[in-house]
Amino acid sequence: MSRQETNDIAMFGRVSESTIRSRYAEFNYGSETWIVVDESRGRLRLIRPSNSSRGLSIGLLLGVRVANTVDSQTSSNDFYLGVVSELLEDAPNQYTVTLNMMPGKPEAIAIRSSDNKARLSTYTQGFRLAPTASLSIPETLVLPSNFAAVGRGIDIFHQAHGTAKEVKVLSILEHSADFDRITIAG
């Protein structure tokens, strides 16, 4: 965590909204409204707007928030993670994008390497995907690419848990240019 985040937690018991807003520029996120063309189990096909200013490539991790179909004026606050698996250019600068959706609702976490050299390193962002027993899917983490190696320790911090927890990487399920999805133990 940054010094400001640590000070906020000491002072308020949580990171303040102003600190969170000031860090948005660091992560360079944006949101756009895409049109859903087709939905199937574990996949979404979307039309990307032609005025989009963000890059797009196969293997890119995207956060998806699907609008509520009952009332189009309201939308769910739940985000899900998808990976671009296909791109089709329908017209100049207009693409149909197929996303393979990751199972489960992602939970934002902070992660860092747990080896002794990196103990003082700052946390970076990641996601936890809870296990899905009915589909025999274990707990997984989504981390920055090349952050994890099989057998390596990772410290996970979630504000609701209060303290960091060390886990070991069991396997790498997916590897992409900007993320890895791994299974853990611990």
pLDDT at 31 (0 to 100): 78
Asked whether the beta carbons of 140 and 174 are under 8 A apart, the reply is no
Dist. CA 25–CA 42, nearest whole Å: 31
Dihedral sign of CA atoms 76, 30, 27, 45 in order: positive
Length, in residues, of the chain: 186
Dist. CA 144–CA 147, nearest whole Å: 6
Dist. CA 9–CA 16, nearest whole Å: 8
pLDDT at 145 (0 to 100): 87
This prediction's pTM: 0.73
Q: Check pLDDT > 70 for residue 166.
A: yes
Tokens of 102: 């990751």
For the chain, which domains are there?
Answer: 1-30 (no CATH), 35-101 (no CATH), 106-185 (2.40.10)
Higher pLDDT, 73 or 148: 148
The confidence band for 69, taking pLDDT boundaries of 50, 70 and 90, is low
